[in-house]
Chain A
């Protein structure tokens, strides 16, 4: 019992490792097939598991004993592009052998003394295989074509590397099948001329690059789970913080845009382009002044309101300092910008000309326009050092218009329901109905 349990445990571990290796090996992308056949006997190759991509090191390790001793003649048919799928598509794999474009190739493979195939060879670069063969044979490659080969005399005492370039159907003038059939004929011609020379050779058929690259990234590498199709959030600027004398932050301000337009100009000045400095700011329990960007002053104050029995703060004024003349344009924000003192105030749009929260207070201010977008400010009781407290928003759940509509329509609905109730409880009077009694008599005369 113990043995069988160990065995099953071991087999499960083996399965897991195999599975992991299988998945890991499926993570590379480009691969080319390599077919090799020879007049001498090639060492046998254990057929690799399906999907396994042979690395160049493995190929080099396999080729070392093949070309290690003596002189070899290697014929390399190098097609521009080749993939496993070309064999599937054009190789008559669907029971239509007579239409196969690789007849000579198949005949050569079958009639050779031995043949091996690497269905998936890792493709690292265009000249990987020729370079490897060159290295193994220590012979420089010779480019031939079928016509020159017949006239070529081979020196069998040294190793020879003959490369025949075959085209691929990159241009659409000829169909792929035609091109591959022509290549196949070339292969047949070359092999027959080599046979006529009675030379022992090893031939290989492969591609310079894969004709189709199917990227199979393993699921282990991929992000597990769905990701939302949204743009990554832009970097968020930090809020402007002013700390009091003891170093504790006491005023915080944040806005997406602080823009001012001065009279006479069409556009808006974006204050964020200027340098931010908070010198001159001050804060104590009742007042906070934030001097911002050397031209904008936010003055806030806090006091206790007896009706609501809590402290509220208001942004009393925003003062814009006009640089050259030293005048100030001040805007009153007391009426619209307020929040309980322990919370921060947030509003999507704080402006002086559209849904005004900042009302011009002096003559200069009527010519200026302020527009703050996504504005948040807190001047008192900053609880945590760098966080705003709860943001009391300028927009409530219902707007004023919604309230007006609700009041009116609910009133009308109430009236309607009341009337409906009255009508629905009208009944015919049947108190004095007596079906068995005499009918009433109505006198004809007055």
Chain B
């Protein structure tokens, strides 16, 4: 079975890339250690030399994109079930659009948070770690964290709602009375996306970028 798995071209590619990556890291690390250049591996230098703008914009980008991935995934799962079930039981079409809307809400959370976070990015005039100042660094990292928070929670929320919605559609196709009960499960599922939004708002509440 492993051989069958290996015969898959993707697996070979991923294995190769992973091997190359980790062997590069390993060899570079060994060389640095041998030549007593371990002091060159400086995480603090990386965190202070990279611009807070990079972190902020990564956060913004991840907020919207991960949310959209979650929404898209959920809609894809639910939608295909609705369409498939609707072939034999066309009455499920209109009622099950609610599941689609729950998935879409996740994307809306994402875009709202992305706009909110991007409004916090301001210009600052420092170039060295001392002149940039701690507040700007905090702002950059907070925006990155908030973006990750909302992005990942929306991602999993969207997948969750999608799978539940797919089940709801198929159950509805079999027995119309099941739909309302399953909808409660979906509501719990979509609440977790909202948690992500709330935490992201809390993270960026103290952000103050600028001079």
**Which A residues have a C-beta under 8 Å from some C-beta of B?**
308, 310, 335-336, 340, 356, 359, 392, 396-397, 400, 403-404, 407-408, 411, 415, 421, 424-425, 442, 446
The 10 lowest CB-CB distance pairs between A and B, nearest first, are A400-B49, A404-B54, A446-B90, A404-B50, A340-B39, A400-B50, A403-B46, A421-B10, A403-B50, A335-B130
* Min CB–CB distance A445 → chain B (angstroms): 9
Count CB-based A-B contacts (< 8 Å): 38
* Min CB–CB distance A442 → chain B (angstroms): 6
* Min CB–CB distance B81 → chain A (angstroms): 12
* Bound-state Cα–Cα, A432 to B45, Å: 59
* Bound-state Cα–Cα, A336 to B45, Å: 11
* Bound-state Cα–Cα, A424 to B51, Å: 36
Is B128 among interface residues, defined by CB-CB distance under 8 A?
A: yes
Known: A335-B128, A400-B50. A442 touches B39 (CB 8 A): no
A400: B residues at CB distance < 8 A: 46, 49-51
Known: A335-B128, A340-B39, A359-B130. A408 touches B58 (CB 8 A): yes
* Residue of A whose beta carbon sits closest to that of B17: A417
Interface string of B34-69 (1 = CB under 8 A from A): 000001100001100111001000100000010000
* Min CB–CB distance A224 → chain B (angstroms): 37
* Min CB–CB distance A139 → chain B (angstroms): 85
Q: For the A-B complex with A400-B46, A424-B10 known, give 14 more contacts whose Cβ atoms are closer than 8 Å.
A: A310-B39, A335-B129, A340-B39, A359-B128, A392-B39, A397-B40, A400-B49, A400-B50, A403-B49, A407-B58, A408-B58, A411-B58, A425-B10, A446-B91
* Bound-state Cα–Cα, A408 to B59, Å: 11
* Min CB–CB distance B83 → chain A (angstroms): 13
* Min CB–CB distance A307 → chain B (angstroms): 9
Known: A335-B130, A403-B50, A408-B58. A396 touches B39 (CB 8 A): no
Interface string of B95-132 (1 = CB under 8 A from A): 00000000000000000000000000000000011100
**Size category of the binding interface on chain B:** 10 to 19
Q: In the bound complex, do residue A396 and residue B90 qualify as a contact, i.e. CB atoms below 8 Å apart?
A: no
Contact of B39 (CB < 8 Å), options: A308, A403, A404, A446: A308
Q: Would you call the interface of chain A mostly helix, strand, loop, or mixed?
A: mixed
Of the candidates A400, A411, A421, A446, the one having the most CB atoms from chain B within 10 angstroms of its own CB is A400
* Min CB–CB distance A326 → chain B (angstroms): 29
Q: In the bound complex, do residue B65 and residue A415 qualify as a contact, i.e. CB atoms below 8 Å apart?
A: yes
* Residue of B whose beta carbon sits closest to that of A312: B39
A310: B residues at CB distance < 8 A: 39
* Bound-state Cα–Cα, A310 to B39, Å: 9
Is B87 among interface residues, defined by CB-CB distance under 8 A?
A: yes
* Residue of B whose beta carbon sits closest to that of A422: B73
Known: A335-B129, A425-B10, A442-B87. A407 touches B65 (CB 8 A): no
| 29 A/B residue pairs, CB under 8 Å, sorted by A | A308-B39, A310-B39, A335-B128, A335-B129, A335-B130, A336-B128, A340-B39, A356-B128, A359-B130, A392-B39, A396-B40, A396-B45, A397-B40, A400-B46, A400-B49, A400-B50, A400-B51, A403-B49, A403-B50, A404-B50, A407-B50, A408-B54, A408-B58, A411-B58, A421-B10, A424-B10, A425-B10, A442-B87, A446-B90
* Bound-state Cα–Cα, A158 to B87, Å: 141
* Min CB–CB distance B61 → chain A (angstroms): 9
* Bound-state Cα–Cα, A397 to B10, Å: 33
* Min CB–CB distance B160 → chain A (angstroms): 17
* Min CB–CB distance B184 → chain A (angstroms): 28
* Residue of A whose beta carbon sits closest to that of B51: A404
* Min CB–CB distance B134 → chain A (angstroms): 14
B65: A residues at CB distance < 8 A: 415
* Min CB–CB distance B54 → chain A (angstroms): 5
* Bound-state Cα–Cα, A400 to B42, Å: 12
* Min CB–CB distance B11 → chain A (angstroms): 10
* Residue of A whose beta carbon sits closest to that of B93: A446
B46: A residues at CB distance < 8 A: 400, 403
A356: B residues at CB distance < 8 A: 128
* Residue of B whose beta carbon sits closest to that of A359: B130
* Bound-state Cα–Cα, A359 to B129, Å: 12
* Bound-state Cα–Cα, A30 to B45, Å: 70
A340: B residues at CB distance < 8 A: 39
A411: B residues at CB distance < 8 A: 58
* Bound-state Cα–Cα, A247 to B40, Å: 33
* Residue of B whose beta carbon sits closest to that of A393: B40
* Bound-state Cα–Cα, A187 to B45, Å: 92
* Min CB–CB distance B132 → chain A (angstroms): 12
A446: B residues at CB distance < 8 A: 90-91
